[in-house]
Amino acid sequence: MTCIFCQIAAGELPSALVYRDTHCMAFMDVHPLGQGHLLLIPLAHVEKLEQLPTVIRQHLYQVFDTLLAAQRRAGFGVEGTHLIVNDGKATNQHIPHAHLHLVPRQKGDGLGFGLRMFMHFTGIFGRRTPLQTLRRQALVIAAELDPQALENLAHRTSRLHAAST
C-alpha cells in the first residue's frame, strides 16, 4: 500500500486522530496551514470525490459540518475557516486520495497563511509539526464532538449505502 492516507487509515502510520467511522476519518495535517488544520478523508481509496457513491460523499459533507462546529467550539477558526478541496492532479493534489482540508483562519494571519499556502502549492511543505502538538489539538477538537450524533449519522449512511448497492 503506497497511499499515505490509506496507510494512516490502516494504522500503519501514526496520526493525530480527531474522528473515525466506517466511512471516513479526520486527523490533523502534519504540515498545517494554521493551528487546528484538519484533513477529512474517505476510507475508500479514490482520487476524486466524484468517484465515491453519492451517499458517502454526502456523509463526508455532513461530517465536515460537524467537525467545523467542533473546531470553532474548541477555539479554532472562530473568525473563519477555509474548506479546501484539491480534487485531481490539475488542482495541485499532492496525495491522490480524495480529501478535504478544514483550515481555521484568524484576523491578521494573511501573510503567514499566504506563505504557507504558497509552500503547499509548490510542494515545499517545510518541517512537520510534532505529533504530540497535533495530538493535543486533536484531543481539544474531539472533545467538542457529539459522539451520539456522529454515530447516528454513520449508521444512517451505512443503511442508505447498503440500500443503494
Concatenated DSSP letters for 82-104?
EEE---SGGGT-SSSS--EEEEE
The lowest-confidence range among 46-50, 72-76, 86-90, 114-118 is 114-118
Considering the domain 4-164 in this protein, what is its CATH number? 3.30.428.10
> What is the pLDDT at residue 16?
97
**Higher pLDDT among residues 28 and 121, named by residue:** 28
Region for 144 from its dihedrals, namely left if φ exceeds 0, alpha if ψ lies in -120 to 50, beta otherwise = alpha
pLDDT score at 59: 95
The pLDDT assigned to 67 comes to 96
The whole-angstrom separation of Cα 4 and Cα 29 is: 12
pLDDT at 111 over 60: no
- Confidence at residue 155, expressed as pLDDT on a 0 to 100 scale: 87
Count of C-beta atoms within a 10 Å radius of residue 17: 17
**What is the arrangement of strands in the sheet containing 80-84, beginning at the earlier edge strand?**
17-20, 24-28, 38-42, 100-105, 80-84
Q: Retrieve residue 117's grid coordinates.
A: 499556502
Q: Which residue has the cell 478523508?
A: 41
The cell 473563519 sits on which residue? 80
Average pLDDT score over residue span 14-41: 94
- Residue 9: all three cell numbers together: 487509515
Q: Which member of 23, 99, 101, 120 is catalytic? A: 99
What band does 126 get if pLDDT is binned at 50, 70 and 90?
A: low
155 is catalytic: no
Query: Cα(21)–Cα(38) distance, rounded to whole angstroms?
Result: 16
